[in-house]
Amino acid sequence: MTDMDTDGSHIKGLIINFIHFFWPSLLECGFISEFTTPLLKARHGQKVQSFYSMQEYESWREKTSNADKYTIKYYKGLGTNTTAEALDYFENFDRHRRKYQYNADFDDRMINLVFDKGSASKRKDWILKSYDPKGTVECTDDGHVPYHEFINKELIHFSHGDNLRSIPSAIDGLKPSMRKILYGALKRKLTSEIKVAQLAGYISEQTHYHHGEASLQATIVNMAQDYVGSNNINILEPIGQFGTRLIGGRDQASPRYIFTKLSKFARLLFPSEDDPLLDYLEEDGHLIEPRYYCPIIPLALVNGGQGIGSGWSTTIPQFCPHDLIHYIRAKLNNLDNAAVTLPQIRPKVRGFVGEIIARPDGKGYTSRGVIARHGKNSLIISELPVGRWTSDYKSFLTKMLARGDITSFSEDHSTENIHFQVRMPIAKLLRAEKRGFHKVFQLESNLPTTNMHAFSHDSVITKYSTPEQMIDNDFFPVRLDLYSRRKESMMADLSYACALAKNKARFIAAVATGDLDIVQGTAKRKEDTISLLQEQKFDAMMDLKLIKHAQSDTLDAKHADEDETSNASASNKDYDYLLNMPLSSFSLERVEELNNSVAKVEGELNILRSKTIADLWSEDLDRLEEHLKGHMN
């Protein structure tokens, strides 16, 4: 008996593997069975529908026309059930009990495939080829569940979900929990400080987060950290003690005591104009975060990433944001010339004063700390390699001291800077210098590029050999397409605003000059007034809204084609945007103001028409680059 979500499925799998390893005969004799409880319940009046997997619920939702009228309750854990519900389950014990059935030909192989350390490559193939998002466990005719059926139809959902949580997207560089946090922060327009603990609660509510808020709080802290070796560009602002390089950020204060808000880079990376164009997910009938965001530069390469999933792991080094900007600019300037030589993308860690050099074997980079002689018998270590924390290195020096390799060391650090002074006998110092100080004092770390896995734009785990490959194959085409759709959307919005202002200005002028008498004329009823407006070719709101969905080069034709039909079916509310204008609007000053607005919008529209999608992207890059000045030092 476990939770019924994918984490519960993982626990079941671990128990099965444990028994299979130590007492395989217990599987053969049918020893194992499970007691199931609902994962979700849908209520409508007195009717209650129970679902034992997310796939079962989604299938019901697709087939049920009035599913949106049901109230959905998600049972994260066994503790969600009331006493009455628990009693009902046990009163119907046989209905909730599932016995497992063993088949040596299939089950031994499948259990070893999932849990054997030596089967990682086979496990990858299994997930890629066997995963069915809609797959659910099917019992045999006598009500038993074969072990291979459980593994292929239930446990595999955990493996897929584990990879989703552990491996970032190549498009936005985020994992699902990070994406939920960004969505909530942008939705809340988080420009004022809020406690991390409070923000986690808000995110959990707005995005239907089904895991513990403690993990959300930890992720918020990680997204805001800015010490050396954390984020090159932090999306959230660290206001309080968010951790230092002393122990790799683990010395942060409690989420109850620290505050955060969106950093100045958030909207530069994720422009608000993109928001309506993203593919938002849906849960329980509510829109939540998008499938992925699309920043103007690839955050997966800016901030790097690490994670261990099922069958896959990933290690992505951090690269220089300025190099990424230059690389993208070069591609934009040579869209029709694929053979052009593009700028190099180099690794870069914000605040790191050591050096990062390419490995001779081409498999990544080596970061080197800074060490120099100081006097006859001492050394100053003023930087550690990337990923080496101050406290860990102090432990290493303590061991050297115990072995007699050094005579003493002292510390004088700040939260940002490193300063160890090491003393050692002159003879040992000379030998260490001959061998190489970096090697003797372990001041090198590897930054490999041989394990750069990320989810591609079509949600497939993909291995990238170089940062350029990630940009060329996935990020750049997706972002370029988004700019194309964004231009169309912006032109439609401006065209709508222009048409709206024109109609209002013409309406006020017509009423003021008496060309349209809606007070003392023949229009005694609203229907008569609407007929007059139609005769004088004022646009109904329905027509104006069509403009928002039309492309700029077909606006006039589309409007003309649908004018007669839409006007004929105009409702009583289609002209309220004119008829409900306040009396204070009926003045020459207001007409002049609207005409000026039309001229301004038409000017913006003409400027936008003249721009290419490459121009739009370049402008966003210019704004980001301006704010990055001095940031990476």
Q: How many helices (H) and strands (E) does the chain have?
A: 26, 21
Q: Which residues of the chain have pLDDT under 50?
A: 551-570
What pLDDT does 398 receive?
A: 97
371 DSSP β-pair partners: 381
Residue 252: closest CA among 227, 232, 229, 216: 227
Amino acid at 164: L
Query: DSSP labels for 206-263?
Result: HHT--S-HHHHHHHHHHHH--STTS-SS-SB--BS----TTTTTTTPPPTTT-EE-B-
Q: Give the span between the Cα atoms of 92 and 505, in whole angstroms.
A: 71
- Whether 327 is catalytic is no
Instruction: Single out the residue of 214, 208, 227, 219 nearest to residue 168, CA to CA.
Output: 219
| Domains detected in the chain | 6-37+75-166 (3.40.50.670), 176-316 (3.90.199.10), 355-448 (3.30.1360.40), 480-616 (1.10.268.10)
Which of 57, 100, 227, 257 is catalytic? The answer is 257
First to last CA, the chain: 54
pLDDT in tens, 232-283: 999 999 999 999 999 999 999 999 999 999 999 999 999 999 999 999 998 8
Q: Treating both helix axes as pointing N-terminal to C-terminal, what angle do 588-610 and 476-513 enclose, rounded to 10 degrees? A: 160
**554-595 per-position pLDDT tens digit:** 333 333 444 444 444 446 678 888 888 888 888 888 888 999
Instruction: Output the pLDDT for position 426.
Output: 94
pTM recorded for the entire structure: 0.88
* CA-based nearest residue to 468, from 589, 326, 273: 326
